Amino acid sequence: SQVKSLGSNLVMVIPGRGVGPSGGSAPGFRIADAAAIAQNVSGVHAVAPVRMVGVKAVSLRSDWSTQAVGTTPDYFSVAGWTFAEGRPFTEAEYRGARSVCVLGKTVVDELFGHQDPIGASIRLKGLSCEVIGVLRAKGQGAMGQDQDSVVVLPLSTVQRRLAGRIGDRGADRIMVSARDGFSTDRVVRDATEILRERRGIRPGEDDDFSVLDTKQIAEAQTTTTTVLT
């Protein structure tokens, strides 16, 4: 149930092999890779490239170390987020790299307490962004992380203002949701074929990325937890 909270019918594409630090120096993904999956893989409901950056969020009241999640408007449906108040950012705000953000409940609690954050501004490094939405709480994730300690912004804004020089491989993962009733196994297979071609991997060569559905994510995280124990 914790893994399912990541998103509905989720397929996750990550660099390297498997969940965890094994990605090493494997290259990230281009935004065009996500577009290719959306356009060419059958059974896809939505696709969202994601870039994550550790930041300190600062308000007039307090500060809090958290994760900035740069992504596209489809992320909220792919990741299974709903809104407690406010709204997601729009396609126009994404394309215009607007300084707007959506906060997880933990960030709201730490920065604003019982005050309404909608319309207020917070600072992330040198970026000041307007709070336009608040996400409903998800609670603890499968690896014990606080899923509600997030600040979600347009990926274009994160690329230009927070992530520094990242070249054209602007995403460190791609999240895909399959349509209801459609086999995620097929989505995994087709997405793998497309990415092998786009990343120039020859027949017989190993993939330098992983495409995992929720069952595989659960199995990988269970293995990681066992090793840590």
Nearest to 42 by CA among 173, 181, 172: 181
Q: Give 149's pLDDT tier (boundaries 50, 70, 90).
A: very high
Q: Three-state SS for 85?
A: strand
For 178-191, how does the pLDDT look when each residue is reduced to its tens digit (9 = 90+)?
998 888 889 999 99
User: Mean pLDDT throughout 209-227?
Assistant: 73
> Are the C-beta atoms of residues 94 and 154 closer than 8 Å to each other?
yes
Q: Identify the pLDDT of residue 139.
A: 85
Q: Give 177's pLDDT tier (boundaries 50, 70, 90).
A: very high
Q: Identify the pLDDT of residue 5.
A: 59
Radius of gyration of the chain (CA): 17
Q: Give 219's pLDDT tier (boundaries 50, 70, 90).
A: low
**pLDDT mean across residues, the chain:** 88
For 3-20, how does the pLDDT look when each residue is reduced to its tens digit (9 = 90+)?
555 655 889 999 987 655
Q: Identify the pLDDT of residue 22.
A: 47
* Burial environment of residue 211 by CB neighbours within 10 A (0 to 12, 13 to 18, 19 or more): buried
**What is the distance, to the nearest Å, from the Cα of residue 215 to the centroid of all Cα atoms in its chain?**
18
Question: Quick one: three-class SS letters along 180-206?
Answer: CCCCHHHHHHHHHHHHHHHCCCCCCCC
Model's pTM, two decimal places?
A: 0.87
Q: Identify the pLDDT of residue 55.
A: 95
**Measured distance CA(38)–CA(191) in Å, rounded:** 9
Q: Identify the pLDDT of residue 126.
A: 86
